[in-house]
Amino acid sequence: MYYVYVAKSENDKSFYTGVTTNLRRRLAEHNNGSAKYTSSKGLFTLIWHCGFSDKQKAYDFEKYLKSGSGIAFRNKHLV
């Protein structure tokens, strides 16, 4: 399974959207500083995730959630 997820920084309240095959490991990477982009943003809380059996569909949905209309969708329906 491929998981598209949205995590929220407890420090600056920003959101991070990503794809992973292991949610627990990936959230731990965000929180222990080993994920480069989020290493300076402190602790993250998983606030939403969705599983996909198709890798391309997961990456396509992640890309959508990072677009302007996808951010609006996220803010209205997911967080």
pLDDT confidence of residue 26:
96
Give residue-wise pLDDT tens across range 2-50: 999 999 999 999 999 999 999 999 999 999 989 888 888 889 999 999 9
Domain range list for the chain: 2-78
Q: How far is CA 70 from CA 38, 41, 77, in A?
A: 20, 22, 10
- Mean pLDDT, range 50-70, rounded to an integer: 98
pLDDT confidence of residue 40:
87
pLDDT confidence of residue 36:
86
pLDDT confidence of residue 42:
85
* Residue 21 CB neighbours (<10 A): 12
Which pTM value belongs to this model? 0.94
CATH architecture of 2-78: 3-Layer(aba) Sandwich (3.40)
